[in-house]
Structure 1
Amino acid sequence: MKFSTSTIVAAALCAVTTNASAQSGRAADAARQDAVVRQALSTYNIGLAALDPDPTPWAGQPGVDTGGIRELTLDSAVALALEKNLDIAVSRLEPQSVDYTVAGIRNIFRPTLSSTFGQRDTVQLPTNQLNGGVRVSNGTSTYNFGVAQPVNFYGGSYTVNFFNSRLDTSNTFANFNPSYTVTLNAAYSQPLIRGFKIDNNRQQLQVALLSRDVSEESSRATVFQTLANVRNAYWDLVFAQSAVDVARRATELADKLVEDNQARVEVGTLAPLDIVQAQAEAATRRQNLAAAEATAQTAELTLKRFLVSGTDDPLWRQAIRPVDLPSLAPAPTDIEGAIRTALAARTDVTTARKNLDANDVNLRFFKNQSMPALDLNANYGLQGLGGTAFLRAPGNLGGAVIGTIPGGYSDALDVLSRRNYPTWNLSVTLSYPLLGNQAEAQYARTQVQRMQAVTRLRALEVQIAAEVANAALTVQSNLKRVEAATAARELALKRLDAEQSRFEVGLTTNFFVVQAQRDLRDAANTELRALADYRKSLVNFERAQQSPAGGGGGGLNAATGGS
């Protein structure tokens, strides 16, 4: 096999272009990944700097750039999530995707134009005396146009065709040469029983519209769950940073105890061995402070993940300082109203009802398909003929041409417009399978699926009622935890003051002072945790009325009957 030079050059250029495109794509991916790595490393260095009071960046690493401090309220965090969160952005695209599916089905009901242009030449064999000659040549030119459309009501459809032809012939019996023939034909088909109320196309459209509603509910559920995650992450960050403050104050108390003990040893009122215990406690609290700072950095990254649109977002490089502090907001009291709200508008309930609606659509479709097919067909057509007409001598068939009457395509259209040569047809077609059909089995199967859907909806309603009630109980329980933790922290503070006073006059030892400091630290952390849990339980109570845990509204799982 031989190849021309141009073919080889074209193949080489194609290969080079393909290779260059692939390399360009890989280079873009590599650059994007490098940017992600650099941003993550910068964030790591920021966290490392917070853990080390005298940070020293690794050799070869870029300098630590905190990007400043961003004070953030809870409402601002929610607004940022609505604007930039990637999960929400993805969920908002899903309804648009379903819109294209709906548009594709709607296009079935749009008119379809058709056209045909052709040329045909035939030479007839002299099979009989009426052949019109020994060698008859016929040349036919066709140019046809048509439109067809299924109707989006009552299942009907129509077609309109406009046929045109021009015939050049050597037939001695021809009356016109060339002759022009035009035909206008309109037909309408209307189902009277099967396919009248619903058919395959309308069934698919109705189910697709329900799928569109379900995708909207799924998007809403993602938004509700993401905002709940943002609020919970915000309160976790508040707790983590407050825990850092508690650990720092505990460390300062331990360091002050070490200094006081050193002063007492110098004046001879305390044994040197008691300093070791205070120093060991101070070291332990510095470890606790480092762990609390690491937890705060992790909580900050968790919140940032919900608020940024990528690692190039300025917020990713900034330190977040929460402005709102957890407070004892009033606990919910109208539990019955909350349950009714959830049963009426929660996304998974709405999705379950949409599934039930889809099952109803399928029931109507399969029941209709199991009926007899009775179709009314109507057809009406008009014809026209024109061209150069031959005048022949009277008397004999195929007499000599004694003259012509000039004519053309417009003559055929004129004959057509006068409607002198109409054709029409009206028919009714009936068909019915004698021993049953597939639609009857599908109708029975869809009835079972509908009963399953109704049962699932009832089970879901019970589950939602229990979830909302449990969320309300958790709110009440956490409120009591906060009250108890606040009282315990106040008592721990009084105990520490008492132990410190007793220690200063020599009535107690380091052990009891250290123990009182630990108890105060633990009580403060417990109070902070209880406050954060209370705020998060309020968030969960609100979320339980809007969407299921985990987000998403489910999909349309009803069986469809369309092909």
Structure 2
Amino acid sequence: MTAVAGLMMASAPARAQQQKTDVDAARVHELVQQALKQVQPVAPAPQALTVVSGPRIDLSIQDATQRGLEKNIDISVARLTPRTWDFTIVGLEANYRPNLTSLFSNTSRSTFPTNQTQGISTITKTGTAQWQGGLAQNLWWGGSSYSVGFVNSRQNSANAFATRNPQYNSSLTASLTQPLLRGFRTDSTRTALLTDRLSQSNDEIALQSTIATTVANTRNAYWDLVFAIQ
């Protein structure tokens, strides 16, 4: 009996220490849970979605594509770019177009007699009317150019010793200029024309590419919306 009592008295402190350890572990676990609740954000309560009803529009894929092309700013800008090259090209092509010129003049001159052999002692009046016209053009190949001119004049004099009154004088001239080597194959104007035409073609291709990309994106968005609704 004495031995049993001694064993019971010896195991009592060990049991009390074990219970204290269990209480401390539970307390630590509780404190950890409280700390985690303070650190983790509280998720907001889900809100109900509000659906606003509006007018229904029946939109076909052709209508959607047409609206996409009309509302796209990049396409509007790309359509203007090739047109700007037209003004530059027309200005350069004007260098090779025929240039027609004409001139009309009418002059009157009064002269005093300078010696007695003229047979007159009064002022002599002479009137001259002149008309001239010409055609000139720079040729595209070879760097050559040509020009044609015609001049016609009529002179009326009050001189009594004039054998023909009025007098008519006419002349016709033509010239062709061909440089030996300069500008034979190409020159600055022809090079600029070819470069501008290539740039215009490049801008037109870029426009078609932008249109094709817009159409593809619009069609994909249209079918994505259809599948989402269904």
TM-score (norm 1): 0.29
Asked if 1:223 is matched to 2:211, the reply is yes
**Quick one: distance in 2 between partners of 1:184 and 1:132?**
36
Which residue matches 1:121?
Answer: 108
SS in structure 2 of the partner of residue 221 of structure 1: helix
Distance 1:120 1:95, change over 3 A: same
**Quick one: distance in 1 between partners of 2:179 and 2:170?**
30
Pairwise CA distance, 1:155 = 1.2
Pairwise CA distance, 1:52 = 4.2
User: Counterparts of 1:74-85 in structure 2 under 5 Å?
Assistant: 77-78=64-65, 81-82=68-69, 84-85=70-71
Pairwise CA distance, 1:105 = 2.1
Asked if 1:165 is matched to 2:161, the reply is no
Pairwise CA distance, 1:185 = 1.0
From 122, 126, 134, give the equivalent of 1:138.
126
Which residue matches 2:93?
Answer: 106
Q: Which range moves more in the overlay, 158-167 or 202-211? A: 202-211
Asked if 1:207 is matched to 2:195, the reply is yes
From 179, 185, 205, give the equivalent of 2:167.
179
AA aligned opposite 2:139: V
AA aligned opposite 2:109: T
Q: Is the 8 A contact 2:142 2:184 kept in 1?
A: yes
**Quick one: distance in 2 between partners of 1:201 and 1:219?**
27
**Quick one: distance in 1 between partners of 2:132 and 2:105?**
9
Pairwise CA distance, 1:203 = 2.0
SS in structure 1 of the partner of residue 166 of structure 2: strand
TM-score (norm 2): 0.64
Which residue matches 2:138?
Answer: 150
AA aligned opposite 1:207: T
SS in structure 1 of the partner of residue 176 of structure 2: strand
Pairwise CA distance, 1:192 = 1.6
Which residue matches 2:82?
Answer: 95
Q: Is the 8 A contact 1:151 1:157 kept in 2?
A: yes
Pairwise CA distance, 1:111 = 0.9
Distance 1:125 1:206, change over 3 A: farther
SS in structure 2 of the partner of residue 121 of structure 1: strand
SS in structure 1 of the partner of residue 186 of structure 2: coil
AA aligned opposite 2:92: I
1:23-80 Cα shifts (integer Å, max 9, x gaps)? xxxxxxxxxxxxxxxxxxxxxxxxxxx9446x7xxxxxxxx6x2x332544x764465
User: Counterparts of 1:499-510 in structure 2 under 5 Å?
Assistant: none
Q: Is the 8 A contact 2:143 2:182 kept in 1?
A: no
Q: Give 5+ residue unaligned stretches, structure 2.
A: 1-48
Q: CA RMSD in A?
A: 3.2
Q: Is the 8 A contact 2:101 2:135 kept in 1?
A: yes
SS in structure 1 of the partner of residue 58 of structure 2: strand
Q: Give 5+ residue unaligned stretches, structure 1.
A: 1-49, 56-63, 243-320, 324-563
Structure index of larger Rg: 2
Which residue matches 2:25?
Answer: none
AA aligned opposite 1:111: P
User: Counterparts of 1:274-285 in structure 2 under 5 Å?
Assistant: none
Pairwise CA distance, 1:210 = 1.4
Which residue matches 2:180?
Answer: 192
1:108-143 Cα shifts (integer Å, max 9, x gaps)? 211121111111011234456677855332210112
SS in structure 2 of the partner of residue 177 of structure 1: coil
**Quick one: distance in 1 between partners of 2:94 and 2:192?**
12
Q: Which range moves more in the overlay, 88-97 or 125-134? A: 125-134
Q: Is the 8 A contact 2:98 2:136 kept in 1?
A: yes
Pairwise CA distance, 1:214 = 1.9
Q: Is the 8 A contact 1:142 1:165 kept in 2?
A: yes
**Quick one: distance in 1 between partners of 2:197 and 2:67?**
31
**Quick one: distance in 2 between partners of 1:205 and 1:194?**
18
**Percent of aligned positions with the same letter in both sequences?**
37
